[in-house]
Amino acid sequence: MVKLQVTNIVGTASNSVWSQVRTITLSPTHQVMMVIKLSCDDPDSLVDLPTTGVGIIDEIGQKGAEEAQKIVEGIADGLTIDLLVATLHDSTFSIYKHGEVEVYLSRAGRLAKLENGESGELVEGDKAILATFDFGKIVTLAKLGNILRDEDEPAELLTPIVHTQSETSGVGAMVVKVVEEMALHREIKIKLRNENPRKNNLWIGGVIFLLLVVMIGVGMVRRVKLVREREFVSLETSVSAKIAETLSSSELNPEKAKTLLSEAKGEVNAYLAGDITDSYKQKGNELIKEIEVADEQVFKKNDTKLTTVVELSILNDGLAASKMKSDGKENLIFNDQANPKVVLMNLVDRSKQIIDTAKNDSFVDLGVSETKVYGLNNNGVMELFWKNTDPKKVIESDEFWVDPMLMGLFANNVYVLDKGQGEIWKYPALETGFGGRRRWFAPGIAPDLANVVDMKVVGDIWLLTSTGKLERYSRGAPVAFALEGFPATGEAKKFSEPRALWVSESAVYVLESGASRIVVFGKDGKYQSQYVNEEFGKASDLVVIDNKGYVLIDNTVKEFGL
């Protein structure tokens, strides 16, 4: 037969759930182990769950495990029972299961799940867990397998894991360890007293002292190992709880989710900075990976690969630009900052067209539509032509222009953002050119445009500021617009060093160089996803065409898939 070391783990009962574990010894060679959970469908019921449960345990103990099925069938309506009965005859271990209970056996480093009706021989060194499903929700199968495989006393680690949880009413578990095999009948040997007892006593005393020293040393080593394991288990439990809370709350409270993951990462980094062994460093790094996976899952991060499209200096000798435009027809257009030229490149065949603007002052911005290209400078707006035709001034600057910096086109109308005046001037399209200057903002609306870094005109006007704000205006008035679910890296709902903006029919893209990413929102301001690459930290402009994004990085155009 075998000798068992059994440790019970039981949660705190609630009004509607009660769990218990019990071992009944029927004879020196016959034991019955039970794990039971009783649940009441009506939390206001007057049913005394502990009394009912103890009665079931006693009845099985009296009638035997063979009667367990009949007892289960006789449970009153409104009660749910989960029952596990394991019997040990000599070395034979047999299982009866009903409901949400489970048995796992660890032998020689391998973990096996035992099903209802299975039986087999236990051997020295075996470890088993008899538990309710609620125990498995707290201690994952992977964690359980590691503890049973690596720890001599698994109960010392499993017990605190359970009791640090807030809700344990459904937890019932029995940790079983086979500590030795015993013969049924031992031979009794009788030895006469030695003629020289003092000498023997001294020898025995020396041996006992040596064993005591060894045992103290082994105990100290085991204690150090146990303390280290408890420290890691405590860390792992805390991190797992924060990850679980993050996954459940990210939609409603992204700021809290971000804080939880940051706290979890801080805990692990502090642990890794301590005096720990290499094996625990590896476990700590695995926790960091779990946090990063949760971060990617919650905030929909896409690790993005960039592919070089063209180097501008190769596209046209000496071409240098920090901004680019698109005409919506797979063409990118660059305002050459080193030479008086505007260069168009077709993304399909890499062909190019060049407009020589030597007769005009350099342009601070370009306005591009499917059929027109305009250049903006302090003197006004010039229409540019791809054929051998000189640029034509179509809008004359006047005394109200102070510092025109950005321009946009919509429905053939021209919009000029004047930082110095804090205005957006609208020039309506006419059959013969453009009408006179109009103030686009509604009466009483006077936003601060000094920090605007990009503007997109798509009916509504979208403004991106260096202070990290994204603003939307419609018919000259601000739209009630807030970023929802945005995982900001700094101040809440603000971008870190934003550089460029793109607005498509269904989404808004923001190049956030301070976070090395491109963040995507719906037009209602709800966060959708982000594309991450370290090179985005050096990007100066962004264009989106169909299912591809294009960024300008150090005078090179690179693309990525959306």
Residue 308: pLDDT above 60?
Answer: yes
Output the pLDDT for position 423: 96
Output the pLDDT for position 186: 45
Output the pLDDT for position 176: 93
Higher pLDDT, 202 or 281: 281
Q: Give the C-alpha separation, 508 to 501, whole Å.
A: 7
Q: Give the C-alpha separation, 431 to 417, whole Å.
A: 24
**How many Cβ atoms from other residues are within 10 Å of residue 156's Cβ?**
16
20 Cβ neighbours under 8 A, 6+ residues apart: 10, 34, 35, 36, 50, 53, 54, 57, 172
pLDDT band at 252 (very low <50, low <70, confident <90, very high): low
Output the pLDDT for position 188: 42
Average pLDDT for residues 208-229, to the nearest whole number?
A: 68
**Element of type H or E holding 180:** strand 172-181
User: Which residue do the tokens 């040997």 mark?
Assistant: 189
Output the pLDDT for position 211: 73
Residue 183: pLDDT above 80?
Answer: no
pLDDT band at 182 (very low <50, low <70, confident <90, very high): low
Please work out, in degrees rounded to the nearest 5, the angle formed at the alpha carbon of residue 51 by the alpha carbons of 47 and 52. Answer: 65
Residue 427: pLDDT above 60?
Answer: yes
> What are 488-510's pLDDT values in tens digits?
887 778 999 999 999 999 999 99
Most confident range (mean pLDDT) of 53-57, 391-395, 549-553 is 549-553
287 and 242 Cβ atoms separated by less than 8 Å: no
Q: Indicate the pTM of the whole model.
A: 0.59
Output the pLDDT for position 194: 52
Higher pLDDT, 442 or 486: 442
Output the pLDDT for position 221: 58
Mean pLDDT, the chain, integer = 87
Nearest to 322 by CA among 499, 503, 559, 449: 499
131 and 172 Cβ atoms separated by less than 8 Å: yes
Output the pLDDT for position 90: 86
203 and 211 Cβ atoms separated by less than 8 Å: no
Residues forming a β-bridge with 451: none
**257-261, 278-282, 442-446, 530-534: least confidently modelled range:** 257-261
DSSP letter for 230, please: H
Q: What is the CA radius of gyration of the chain?
A: 38
Output the pLDDT for position 8: 92
Task: Tell me the CB-side half-sphere exposure of residue 96, using CA atoms within 13 A.
Answer: 19
Higher pLDDT, 322 or 62: 322
Output the pLDDT for position 190: 44
Burial of 50 (0-12, 13-18, 19+ CB in 10 A): exposed
> What are 314-330's pLDDT values in tens digits?
999 889 999 999 988 88
> What are 458-481's pLDDT values in tens digits?
999 999 999 999 999 999 999 988
pLDDT band at 196 (very low <50, low <70, confident <90, very high): low
Quote the percentage of the chain above a pLDDT of 70.
93
pLDDT band at 185 (very low <50, low <70, confident <90, very high): very low
Residue 230 gets the label, from left (phi > 0), alpha (psi -120 to 50) or beta, of alpha
pLDDT band at 379 (very low <50, low <70, confident <90, very high): very high
Output the pLDDT for position 187: 45
Output the pLDDT for position 87: 92
Output the pLDDT for position 60: 86
> What are 88-100's pLDDT values in tens digits?
988 899 999 999 9
Nearest to 29 by CA among 85, 86, 117, 92: 92
pLDDT band at 224 (very low <50, low <70, confident <90, very high): low
Average pLDDT for residues 379-408, to the nearest whole number?
A: 91
Higher pLDDT, 85 or 46: 85
